[in-house]
Amino acid sequence: MNVKIEPSWKELLAGEFEKPYFAALTRFIKEEYAATRVYPPGRYIFNAFERCPVEKTKVILLGQDPYHGPGQAHGLCFSVPEGIEQPPSLVNIFKEIDSDIGTPLPASGNLERWAEQGVLLLNATLTVRAGQAGSHQNKGWEEFTDAVIRVIADHREGLVFLLWGAYAQRKGAFIDTRRHLVLKAAHPSPLAANRGGWFGNRHFSQANAYLRDHGREEIRW
């Protein structure tokens, strides 16, 4: 199957695109976009990969669903385009960055700047119906993104995986912690963060220290 995705990822994931589940997923997604409003816009479904080629990837941040409100989703987990109000989870991420490394809260919630430095901003499910959280779960995306995590973890050494919340931690449970740094914390959503386990996790300084120790440029969070 000819999938329009960044070339280095297309090569690494070529086997997935030929599997029956991916053909069924493709049919489902095409039908959904034709019949109803789906986020993100079609051109942004694989935006995380376009912004962060395989050899550039240093950090993998796992999200769950795209945002399902108007104008929010653009294919990068936790990120919103310029001019869109920052969702509460993203605000809490920025608060932790400020507390951890002293970077003030930015005006923009657009995380393209992270992706371009080598942060793969990967949602488990890459599409969603407008206003219907979880509506594209269990259609094949999770199998695809499991494969993404597996192949990048096998292909590279010394990556940082940020697993926030129980869902991300289950999804990344197979990552070899002898080869990569796996950082776990509560989800930054207000409900989870306010119960404890998010604020004070210091993931951003820990990630940069690990990258520095492995001879890689730190992320400008």
Catalytic residues: 65
Helix extents (H) in 20-87? 20-35, 47-51
Q: Say if residues 77 and 121 touch (Cβ distance below 8 Å).
A: yes
Bridge partners (DSSP) of residue 63 are 123
H/E element, 123:
strand 119-123
- Bridge partner list, 181: 160
Nearest Cα residue to 138 out of 152, 150, 124 = 124
Identify which of 56, 6, 83, 91 has the alpha carbon closest to the alpha carbon of residue 216: 56
User: Furthest-apart CA pair in the chain: how many Å?
Assistant: 50
C-beta separation of 153 from 173 below 8 A: no
Helix or strand or coil: residue 161? strand
